[in-house]
Amino acid sequence: MSLVTTFRVGNLTCHALEGGVQRLDGGAMFGVVPKELWNRRIEADGRNRIPLALRCLLIEHPDGPVLVDTGIGNKESEKFCDLYGIDNEGVHGPTRLDDALNEVGLTARDVRWVVNTHLHFDHAGGNTVVPPGGGPEDEPCVAFPEATYVVQEGDLAFGLRTNERTAGSYFPKNFAPVTDADRWKLVSGDAEILPGVRAILTPGHVPHHQSILIEDGGEKACFLADLVPTTAHLSLPWIMGYDLEPLVTLESKRRLLTQAEEESWLLVFEHDPEHALGRVVRKGKSFGFQALAG
């Protein structure tokens, strides 16, 4: 089974890369939405967990391959992987993301830009890696040795000031080695990362969350990340319990999805277990999912 879904945005070739699966509590993923409703969309297992993709995005860019988010990586303990239902082990490399890169003819060393939407462990865990033969207690190193890493300056600062609520998601081992290697390019707010690749600040899940807009030849695609983690979350009030500022998420969703619907953006869903790509359509006062033709 292929780990890659390829599409084009103008002259830019892009690939949605399957980096494995995690399983998180369905109630936490849907917040105040009753289980009777969300369980129809993504069915929970016996531990009330739903399957979630660990999908990343690769952009073939003239300035070198750009990887958006990096999955969970290979540094977590067996207990941690059982708790979160993580299945991301690779066959040809440390993780399934390495296998997906291999499928498009690349290795981690070929990647020139790594863009993190934010630094939670399931989005930035693959930033760093335990070398072959190592274990969870070994010191990690940068996983993409030729890459410049990009994140919102505010999110890096936020991840360094954890509290009882945020410490379970921000792990310094996923970003401190990048700092030590002096590989960060920090942006602030909406910003052009490379020609045709733009950060859009979409706060709510965390205060400095960003989605990534790709634009070329009059076409646009957006990697939504945790603003809209699955197609079910296109409905405006369906917001994760994990979000630190849910009412801010609501307005970020309203703003971005309104523009996406008006301009017919292609959307890339990081966590949807079935749909990598699609479009958004108006559904009453809210929004719904439209699968791509064919």
Per-residue model confidence as pLDDT tens digits over 8-34: 999 999 999 999 999 999 999 999 999
Per-residue model confidence as pLDDT tens digits over 194-240: 999 999 999 999 999 999 999 999 999 999 999 999 999 999 999 99
Per-residue model confidence as pLDDT tens digits over 100-156: 999 999 999 999 999 999 999 999 999 999 877 666 667 899 999 999 999 999 999
The residue to which tokens 């523009």 are assigned: 259
Average pLDDT value over all residues in the chain: 96
**Most distant CA pair in the chain: distance in Å?**
54
Per-residue model confidence as pLDDT tens digits over 48-73: 999 999 999 999 999 999 999 999 99
Nearest to 192 by CA among 218, 214, 224: 214
pLDDT at 92: 86
Nearest to 23 by CA among 74, 82, 69, 99: 82
The residue to which tokens 């129809």 are assigned: 40
Is the Cβ–Cβ distance between 57 and 67 less than 8 Å?
yes
Domains of the chain: 4-290 (3.60.15.10)
Give the burial string for 41-63 (b: 16+ CB within 10 Å, else e).
bbebeeeebbbbbbbbbbbbbee
Query: What global pTM score does this model have?
Result: 0.97
CA 274 to chain centre: 15
User: Phi and psi (nearest 5°) for 54?
Assistant: -115, 70
